[in-house]
Amino acid sequence: MELMDIVSAPVKVVEKSEPLSHARNVMLRNNISRVVVTENEEPVGILTKTDMTRGLQQDEPKWKRRPIDKIPVKRQMSKDLITIDSSADISEVACKMINHSISGIPVMEDGNTNVTEKNKIIGIVTKQDLTEFYSKTNLNKRIEEIYSNEVISVHRHHSLNKAVELMKKNQINRIIVIDGKNSPVGIITNSDLTFANFNEVKKGIKGKELELPRKTKKAGEKKHRSVDKNMFVAEDVMSAPLITIDIENKTKEAAKKMVEEEISGIPITKNNELDGIITKTDIVEDICNEKL
Domain match, 166 and 250 both: yes
Q: Which residue has the higher pLDDT, 153 or 218?
A: 153
pLDDT (tens digit, 9 = 90+) per residue, 19-77? Answer: 999 999 999 999 898 999 999 888 999 999 888 876 555 555 554 567 778 889 999 99
pLDDT of amino acid 181: 76
Q: What CATH number does the domain containing 71 carry?
A: 3.10.580.10
Domain match, 79 and 151 both: no
Domain match, 157 and 128 both: no
Q: Is the pLDDT of residue 80 over 70?
A: yes
Q: Is the pLDDT of residue 243 over 80?
A: yes
Burial class for 5, CB neighbours closer than 10 Å (0-12, 13-18, 19+): exposed
Q: Between the ranges 59-73, 183-197, 210-224, where is the mean pLDDT highest?
A: 183-197
pLDDT of amino acid 74: 93
- Domain boundary, last residue among 135, 166, 201: 135
Q: What is the mean pLDDT of residues 122-146?
A: 96
pLDDT, mean over the chain: 84
Domain count, the chain: 2
Domain match, 109 and 202 both: no
Q: Is the pLDDT of residue 118 over 80?
A: yes
Residue pair 223/201 in contact (Cβ under 8 Å)? The answer is no
Domain match, 147 and 278 both: yes
Domain match, 105 and 223 both: no
Q: Is the pLDDT of residue 220 over 50?
A: yes
Q: Is the pLDDT of residue 231 over 70?
A: no
Phi, psi of 96 (to 5 degrees): -65, -40
pLDDT of amino acid 219: 54
Q: How far apart are CA 278 and CA 266, in angstroms?
A: 5
> Which of 33-42, 246-255, 277-286 comes out lowest in average pLDDT?
33-42
- Domain boundary, last residue among 135, 168, 201: 135
pLDDT of amino acid 226: 47
Domain coverage including residue 206: 143-290
Domain match, 85 and 147 both: no
Domain match, 273 and 184 both: yes
Q: How far apart are CA 144 and CA 253, in angstroms?
A: 13
Domain match, 45 and 155 both: no
Domain match, 286 and 151 both: yes
Domain match, 163 and 112 both: no
Q: Which residue has the higher pLDDT, 171 or 128?
A: 128
- Domain boundary, last residue among 135, 159, 179: 135
| Beta strands, E only, the chain | 13-15, 34-39, 42-48, 84-85, 104-108, 121-126, 153-155, 174-178, 184-189, 210-213, 224-227, 245-246, 265-270, 273-279
pTM (global) more than 0.85: no
Q: Is the pLDDT of residue 122 over 50?
A: yes
Domain match, 107 and 162 both: no
